[in-house]
Chains A and B, each alone.
Chain A
Amino acid sequence: MPGAEERVLRRRIGSVQNTKKITRAMELIAATRVVRAQMRANEARPYAETLTSVIEDLAAGGAEVDHPLLREPESVDKVGFVVITSDRGLAGPYNANVIRAAERELMASRAGGVDYSLVLIGKKAGDYFRFRHYRIDALYTGMSDKPAYDDAREVADTVTEHFESGAVDKIVLVYTEFVSLGTQRVRVRRFLPLETTTTIAEAGAPERRAAFEFEPSPPAVLGALLPRYVEARLYAALLDSAASEHASRQRAMKAATDNAEELILKLTRRMNQARQDAITTEIMEIIGGAAALAEHKGSEEDLLLDELDWTEPFPALGKRTFFAHNPER
């Protein structure tokens, strides 16, 4: 039946158009969120920087102390992984990349006979590792989209407790670093034990600072400072990951919108062709029909009257009049 294909295509174009509208909206939302996430990351930077500089000052003041968070384990029997993913999908390869990197690390340490412990942030990581029957020690959801400092503190507390109690000997952080709008990189970094204060200091400004006065005492200050430092580092990673998530989603949705556009164009062309075909077929049928009619005009065999003569509704065969040819009527 002519027109059937056209109708099917028209419906498909409609559905692709709807999808395009959704992906376009998601793209725009993600775009504004990237900007906001970047802004938050920038706003959080002064705190982390000042904290680092205080630690540098402490190191310069010679406050090398034996703090649990700095203690290097004698042997690593169990490694804790903190994996930061998102709660929602449709963010391109964002989650898959992080999860793959985390699983690779986990496999590597397991191959070396080292046990693992998982602290997951984001529904996606939870789903993945639960489905594969990994042991999950903690799962946090609802914070990766727009992390607050309290969220970072909550996770940092759990992780620090695992570490300090000796349940794990080392903690590795797997997250996505936000390099730029176009580039996000998965990073696997050592989280705990912290590098010693001197190495933290070496990473910062190398110039020797003036001698500081500490109150109450350098070890006390360091002891109060290090947990904050752990929190700030985790918070920075969360913010970076959030910005990366939105950037990744923006890119994925842009690609989806472009693909939808392309598909609409292709389908529209096919639909037009189908319609043209249908019209051609119809014309052919009409012409064919007309030709057939013209050929058989006035045939004795044609029992169907073109017009009825009401004066003689039942004309005898062979004596039929065709009014169509009567110019006077």
Chain B
Amino acid sequence: MTLQVELVSPERIVHSGEAEMVIARTEGGGDIAFMAGHVPFIGILAIHPLRIIAGDGSEEMMAVHSGFVEVSGDRVAILSDVCEVQDEIVVERAREARDRAREAAEADPADEKAERALRRALVRLEVAGVTE
């Protein structure tokens, strides 16, 4: 049995397809993997890459910047303001954003906005496959 995965942004359905397993990270709960038949679940997503593993074992990674995940039966719905697929990410821009956010975060450790921006940039880079 496969999972029906839907990535929904406020403006449109970004991605819709089948998968074997979806791995996400929830706020305060750590990583959680969903397979078909999972207990109905609703969680807040952390700023973290989302991994969708297809039936043939291939893996797709997406940058999901907060949002929600709703699992019921064999359907996974991910609601997110911003979700980016690997090839949508501009590495150069993400790198710049990371450096900028890092500077701001270092200058003012209480700056939550900068810290979130930094985390977003890091997630983007991770999804894009940039390690340094």
Bound pair (A, B): yes
Is the Cβ of A149 less than 8 Å from the Cβ of B40? no
Q: Once bound together, how far apart are the Cα atoms of A231 and B10, in whole Å? A: 9
User: Which residues does chain B contribute within 8 Å of A46, judged by CB atoms?
Assistant: 6, 8, 13
Binding site for B on A (CB under 8 A): 40, 43-44, 46-48, 50-51, 53-54, 57-58, 148-149, 152-153, 209-216, 220-221, 224-225, 228, 231-232, 235
**Interface pairs (26), CB distance under 8 Å:** A43-B13, A44-B12, A46-B8, A48-B10, A50-B8, A50-B70, A50-B79, A53-B70, A54-B68, A57-B40, A57-B72, A149-B9, A211-B40, A212-B41, A212-B72, A213-B39, A213-B42, A215-B28, A216-B28, A216-B44, A220-B27, A220-B28, A221-B43, A221-B68, A231-B10, A235-B10
Binding site for A on B (CB under 8 A): 6, 8-13, 26-29, 32, 39-44, 68, 70, 72, 77, 79, 81
User: Which residues does chain B contribute within 8 Å of A153, judged by CB atoms?
Assistant: 81
Which of A44, A58, A210, A213 interacts with B10 by CB under 8 Å? A44
Q: Once bound together, how far apart are the Cα atoms of A197 and B39, in whole Å? A: 22
Q: Once bound together, how far apart are the Cα atoms of A40 and B32, in whole Å? A: 33
User: Which residues does chain B contribute within 8 Å of A212, judged by CB atoms?
Assistant: 40-42, 72
Which of A48, A148, A209 interacts with B40 by CB under 8 Å? A209
User: Which residues does chain B contribute within 8 Å of A48, judged by CB atoms?
Assistant: 10
Is the Cβ of A210 less than 8 Å from the Cβ of B40? yes
CB distance from A29 to the nearest CB of B (A): 22
CB distance from A263 to the nearest CB of B (A): 43
Is the Cβ of B43 less than 8 Å from the Cβ of A214? yes
User: Which residues does chain B contribute within 8 Å of A225, judged by CB atoms?
Assistant: 68
Q: Once bound together, how far apart are the Cα atoms of A47 and B6, in whole Å? A: 10
Q: Which residue of A lies closest to B79 (CB)?
A: A50
CB distance from A15 to the nearest CB of B (A): 43
Q: Once bound together, how far apart are the Cα atoms of A99 and B27, in whole Å? A: 43
User: Which residues does chain B contribute within 8 Å of A211, judged by CB atoms?
Assistant: 40
Q: Once bound together, how far apart are the Cα atoms of A98 and B29, in whole Å? A: 47
